[in-house]
A = this chain, B = another copy of it.
């Protein structure tokens, strides 16, 4: 039998009288009731509900009527729960998910003119520019090519944007960090397509253009890393992409801001300088303290967030398991530390295996809360040596005008009543 850490066991048993309380399936945005749930207790078969008959075999397993998963819609930073027609994004319910993979229908959405449902029999991909041939590929052709499947996180560069300026105490972790997701992606390697069209060796940039009405288009520098990892993807978690995620094909540039992973991909053009689309001149630039705008800040830097306990949950004194997610666009997470005293002392969290390159990882730490107000916070480190900064250090570098790439440590305050609230640090 595996050995269970005796201290961990004793902490749990001692705390059993106040065990449990936060409800896994609660409705987002409501304050969790501090119900006193009966602890694990002596019992017999009479205590367990009777067996139940159920509906017959189905052709697709639906969710339980007791499970309520939905994304929250956002108009501008912090303007939440708006009519979907007015929203610019909708966010993954990180407070209700466990593990590291995101269900396909819960992947966050961000689009600039809605999500067209393109006909895969008509859709084509043009590859041209500095290439020996200008070729058009159908979906059947792309799907017949050699392919790979990889687990990668995807994150909007706007994730966490609320926290650049202020900390709304009404925000949940879905609100503050719900623009990140992880799937198993399947597609053709960009490098393979470049060989097919004979991309010229001195082409150093690539334009990728989407088939949505906005025609979102981005210039992508052809670094060794991007050439090695980028996919033209047609599947997520084993099934064809959902329309909101680029059906029938999208670009997938692992670890870089989500906006580079152009959805509804219709065109790749090779050149030797950036194409300077409005999506990288007027949009998706970073306003620096000196008033200048930084272009092509592409990496999603090392990041982490505690998903439980988190904003608007309520905990009770005693045993509490801290759980969260960590990721880095630079590589693999090698360490996550948690402070339960507002950043004074740090203790290493357990990281769930396998830990993969540019993938989200789930971390855990056991914690016994003494019932006094405190602040909990996580920080992650990747295999390139990057450490997630505290908010002060991040602001010192980037100023407070930046809108994108917030990766400051997320602090949750816990008051004497066990209420968990978003605070800046």
Q: List chain A positions with a Cβ less than 8 A from chain B.
A: 1-2, 4, 8-9, 12-13, 16, 19-25, 37-45, 47-49, 51-67, 69-73, 84-90, 96-107, 109, 111, 113-126, 128, 133-141, 143-151, 184-186, 189, 191-192, 194-196, 210-215, 224, 227-228, 234-235, 237-245, 247-248, 264, 266-267, 319-321, 352-354, 356, 362, 364, 366
Which of B125, B144, B211 is within 8 Å of A19, CB to CB? B144
Asked if residues A140 and B23 are in contact (CB atoms below 8 Å), the reply is yes
Residues of chain B within 8 A of A19, CB atoms compared: 140-141, 144
Which of B12, B52, B116, B240 is within 8 Å of A53, CB to CB? B116
Q: A63-B239, A63-B243, A64-B241 are in contact. List 18 more A-B contacts (CB 8 A).
A: A4-B195, A8-B146, A20-B140, A22-B144, A24-B143, A38-B138, A48-B136, A48-B266, A49-B119, A54-B243, A56-B84, A59-B84, A67-B239, A98-B238, A100-B149, A101-B101, A102-B238, A146-B366
Residues of chain B within 8 A of A210, CB atoms compared: 51
Residues of chain B within 8 A of A148, CB atoms compared: 352
Which residue, A99, A107, A247, has most C-beta atoms of chain B within 10 A? Answer: A99
Which of B55, B73, B141 is within 8 Å of A20, CB to CB? B141
Asked if residues A52 and B212 are in contact (CB atoms below 8 Å), the reply is yes
Q: How far is the CA of A349 from the CA of B1 in the complex (A)?
A: 37
Q: How far is the CA of A213 from the CA of B12 in the complex (A)?
A: 33
Min C-beta distance of A309 to chain B, whole Å? 11
Q: How far is the CA of A289 from the CA of B305 in the complex (A)?
A: 58
Which residue, A48, A56, A109, A362, has most C-beta atoms of chain B within 10 A? Answer: A56
Min C-beta distance of A146 to chain B, whole Å? 6
Asked if residues A57 and B87 are in contact (CB atoms below 8 Å), the reply is yes
Which residue, A64, A71, A213, A242, has most C-beta atoms of chain B within 10 A? Answer: A64
Asked if residues A60 and B70 are in contact (CB atoms below 8 Å), the reply is yes
Which of B138, B144, B227 is within 8 Å of A1, CB to CB? B227
Which of B25, B49, B150 is within 8 Å of A266, CB to CB? B49
Which residue, A67, A134, A366, has most C-beta atoms of chain B within 10 A? Answer: A67
Min C-beta distance of A364 to chain B, whole Å? 7
Asked if residues A117 and B242 are in contact (CB atoms below 8 Å), the reply is no
Q: How far is the CA of A42 from the CA of B57 in the complex (A)?
A: 49
Q: How far is the CA of A360 from the CA of B250 in the complex (A)?
A: 25
Min C-beta distance of A333 to chain B, whole Å? 14
Residues of chain B within 8 A of A43, CB atoms compared: 124, 126, 134-136
Asked if residues B53 and A141 are in contact (CB atoms below 8 Å), the reply is no
Asked if residues B1 and A37 are in contact (CB atoms below 8 Å), the reply is no
Which of B98, B247, B320 is within 8 Å of A64, CB to CB? B247
Q: How far is the CA of A339 from the CA of B321 in the complex (A)?
A: 51
Which of B8, B125, B235, B239 is within 8 Å of A48, CB to CB? B125
Q: Knowing A104-B103, A238-B98, A239-B103, say if A135 contacts B41 (CB, 8 Å).
A: yes
Q: Show 25 residue pairs from A and B whose CB-CB distance is below 8 angstroms, ordered by the A residue.
A: A1-B224, A2-B191, A24-B139, A24-B140, A37-B138, A41-B135, A48-B125, A48-B267, A51-B212, A51-B213, A51-B214, A52-B212, A56-B84, A57-B84, A57-B87, A58-B90, A59-B72, A60-B69, A61-B243, A62-B244, A66-B119, A97-B235, A99-B149, A100-B149, A237-B237
- Name A2's closest neighbour in chain B (CB-CB): B191
- Name A350's closest neighbour in chain B (CB-CB): B146
Min C-beta distance of A72 to chain B, whole Å? 8
Min C-beta distance of A254 to chain B, whole Å? 14
Asked if residues A44 and B126 are in contact (CB atoms below 8 Å), the reply is yes
Asked if residues B13 and A144 are in contact (CB atoms below 8 Å), the reply is no
Min C-beta distance of A216 to chain B, whole Å? 10
Which residue, A40, A55, A264, A362, has most C-beta atoms of chain B within 10 A? Answer: A40
Min C-beta distance of A411 to chain B, whole Å? 22
Q: How far is the CA of A23 from the CA of B186 in the complex (A)?
A: 17
Residues of chain B within 8 A of A89, CB atoms compared: 57
Asked if residues B239 and A57 are in contact (CB atoms below 8 Å), the reply is no
